[in-house]
Structure 1
Amino acid sequence: MIETIAKAGTLVSFIVCGYVLKQLGLFSKESFNTISTIVFDLTLPSAIIVNLNGVHFESRLLFISALAILFDLIFIGLGYVLGKNKVEKSFYMLNLNGFNIGNFALPFVSYFFDSAAVLIVCLFDAGNSIMCLGIAYGLACCVRGHADENIFHLLGRSVLSSVPILSYIVMILLAVFSITLPSAFINWAAIPASANTFLSMMMIGVALGVSLKKDFIHVIYTDIGVRFTGSAVMTAAIYFFLDYPMEIKRVLMILLFSPIAGMACYYTAKLKGNIGVAACINSLYILVSIVMMSTLIIFLSHGI
């Protein structure tokens, strides 16, 4: 257990390092854009390729992608019910929904577990990404009254422009048909892939920023409270009702406490919502996720 705690502390220290360097003025908003571009377009796709190359899995595991879609839909529904008007409904629908898997949960899980666990993460994120990068925004647009952009066009554009999603799709298809990539290419991809955990944690630290607005404290804590409660209920449902081995259920339970999808802030801005409140919610829930995911990893890894 001490070794697991030390590993969790190491990851958190990278986040703290990024935050401290930003406070010292060594990192700026431009630095975040640079790091995030490297992560999303190079190190994360490389990590996906390296971890999924040569992996074989049963077709029934594809149900994990459907589970991710279901969980996202539940959070979207809760957001719709929670809001008092169209503006609040669309805000909650975006900022309750989605899991930050690629640049948070994937580095976390891959640091502690083997490639079998990483496969579960990738299958979950395949379904989650579809919701985060198109459908959730399209539904929020419909509720807000800005349904001028076709949801299928939005989804298609998001998928085709996302290197991580394309990497997931290609590697999962290769795994289904038992096709492996050449070792020379994998050896090349392994170099940027090895930097993904470090850069992802640093990126989160640089992005971290909490500014509690007095007028929006109720919205902030309502969003975080409902998100946390919903994740806890879903975790219990997985533990008691999902017919999968405990090794798989353990990973899914950890994923459910991942941070809120980073795209929530972007789409909130597109809908002319309160981006400051969305960013505050996202940053605060990252802190919650660090504590909960580390705790679950420590306890579930030791069968407690």
Structure 2
Amino acid sequence: MLVLFLALLLKKIRILHQKDGALTSKMVVYLTLPATILIGVNHTKLSNIFFILMFMGLFSNLLLVFLGKFIGRKATVEERGLYMFDLSGYNIGNFSIPFVSSFFPAAIPFLAMFDMGNSLMVTGTTQAIVELSSGRKKHGFILQEIFGVLFRNPPFVVYIFMFILAIFGLSFPDEWLIPIRPLANANTLLSIFTIGLFMEFRLPKGKLKLVLKILTWRYLLAFILASLVYFFLPFPAIIKEILLLIFFCPMSFLHMIQAIELGNDKALAGLTISLSMFISLILMSIIVIIL
């Protein structure tokens, strides 16, 4: 929390600006996050639970996209699209992995598997569903474009690479990874600092009710999914705890960009995801304390 408020303070007194977040974000995506995943996933032994988590990452997104369509059925095309984007999608790479690795480093392989399914949705599949639903087809479901986005994403490439190694029972000797440990150690601090730089609290006129409805539905559905997993699924305790944290993590940055492309106001999309990051940080901290 201290790092987050430091970023907000430095932005407030104009030492840093929101645009500086683009640089720190690239450092996270291209350096510190891949290093964290590489170290965290190394020596992973694949089991059925990994494939279940991958499926859950995909299925939970699909479920929430169509629930968003139903909840926003009486709204305008743009607002219905915002429901579909903002009720689904998880910011795992830039938020959940840095957060969870601070408390449960052994959880990174499980987060990675869920995020592989999640990534297939947030990189373009959800956008295709929203566009087809709205009748404003700009991109559609173009598999080549979706995989193009995925394989230009360094964390996803590391996921795939380490997944292939795990299939063959291979891993890197720990000594080989010593040079990148400083990068991995910096990931949490740099990620949270970047989130602080990106946070924006400017409310578009007349949109407060919409923002509150979206946030209420997102966290209500997160609570329902978390309850179903925690009380009814026969998973080990650590898997349940990880899924609880995932369900309460913030909205996807990619979905914010896609919502703007659909015609939503930048300030509206930015405020919604900023509040989501702030709320998620508090709720995930509470979950860690309780569990």
Give TM-score, length-normalised by structure 2: 0.94
Contact 1:18 1:202 survives alignment (8 Å): yes
Query: 1:75-114 alignment to 2 at 5 Å?
Result: 75-83=64-72, 84=74, 85-114=76-105
Match of 2:254 in 1: 263
Matched, 1:175 2:166: yes
C-alpha distance in 2 between matches for 1:229 and 1:68: 18
Query: 1:226-245 alignment to 2 at 5 Å?
Result: 226-245=217-236
Match of 2:123 in 1: 133
Contact 1:47 1:193 survives alignment (8 Å): yes
User: Deviation digits for residues 243-272 of structure 1, max 9, x if unmatched?
Assistant: 211121111111110011111211112222
Match of 2:191 in 1: 200
User: Deviation digits for residues 100-125 of structure 1, max 9, x if unmatched?
Assistant: 1111111111100132x121111111
Query: 1:107-122 alignment to 2 at 5 Å?
Result: 107-115=98-106, 117-122=107-112
Contact 1:89 1:143 survives alignment (8 Å): no
Query: 1:41-56 alignment to 2 at 5 Å?
Result: 41-56=30-45
C-alpha distance in 2 between matches for 1:34 and 1:209: 17
C-alpha distance in 1 between matches for 2:287 and 2:62: 24
Contact 2:7 2:193 survives alignment (8 Å): yes
Q: CA deviation at 1:188?
A: 2.3
Q: CA deviation at 1:165?
A: 1.0
SS at match of 1:15: helix
SS at match of 1:134: helix
Contact 1:211 1:280 survives alignment (8 Å): yes
Aligned-CA RMSD value: 1.5
What amino acid is aligned across from residue 141 of structure 1 in structure 2? E
What amino acid is aligned across from residue 121 of structure 2 in structure 1? M
Match of 2:135 in 1: 145
Give TM-score, length-normalised by structure 1: 0.90
Contact 2:132 2:140 survives alignment (8 Å): no
Q: CA deviation at 1:182?
A: 4.7
User: Deviation digits for residues 186-245 of structure 1, max 9, x if unmatched?
Assistant: 122222111111100100111112122341112101100100100000000001221211
Count the aligned residue pairs.
Answer: 288
C-alpha distance in 1 between matches for 2:132 and 2:145: 13
C-alpha distance in 2 between matches for 1:156 and 1:144: 23
Percent of aligned positions that are identical: 27
User: Deviation digits for residues 78-111 of structure 1, max 9, x if unmatched?
Assistant: 2111222432222211122111111111111110
Moved more, 165-174 or 80-89: 80-89
Match of 1:3 in 2: none
Tell me which stretches of 4 or more aligned residues in structure 1 moved more than 3 Å: 182-185
> Tell me, which stretches of 5 or more residues in structure 2 are unaligned?
none
C-alpha distance in 1 between matches for 2:95 and 2:246: 10
C-alpha distance in 2 between matches for 1:146 and 1:258: 29
Q: CA deviation at 1:44?
A: 0.7
